[in-house]
Amino acid sequence: MHSLLFDRQQALEDEGLRTYAGAIGLDIECFDLDRANPAVMARIARDVASGEASRLVGGTPTLFINGVLHEDGYDTATLLEAVTR
């Protein structure tokens, strides 16, 4: 699913998400119920609020390594170096 979402970043509305879920064989009814779950919605709201409050998160992807904003590249070598510092 993550590959579909990444490749179709301009089409992330509900109908698109449901189409992608069906394309990878998910149970659409369960997918819809899970996305509407109050606990899931609360977690998303908490994450959004945390990102906004940090004033460091400007969009996705935003990566923190050991609590520090990662501002370098996302290639394997750069990420490996960052996590081993």
pTM for the whole structure: 0.60
Rounded to whole angstroms, the Cα distance separating 18 from 57 reads 27
Rounded to whole angstroms, the Cα distance separating 44 from 27 reads 22
Q: What type of residue is 54?
A: S
Q: Which two tokens stand for residue 2?
A: 């993550």
Asked if the peptide bond before residue 38 counts as cis, ω within 30 degrees of 0, the response is no
Give the pLDDT of the chain (85 residues) as one tens digit per residue: 988 898 998 899 999 999 999 999 999 999 999 999 999 999 999 989 988 998 888 887 889 898 889 999 989 999 999 999 8
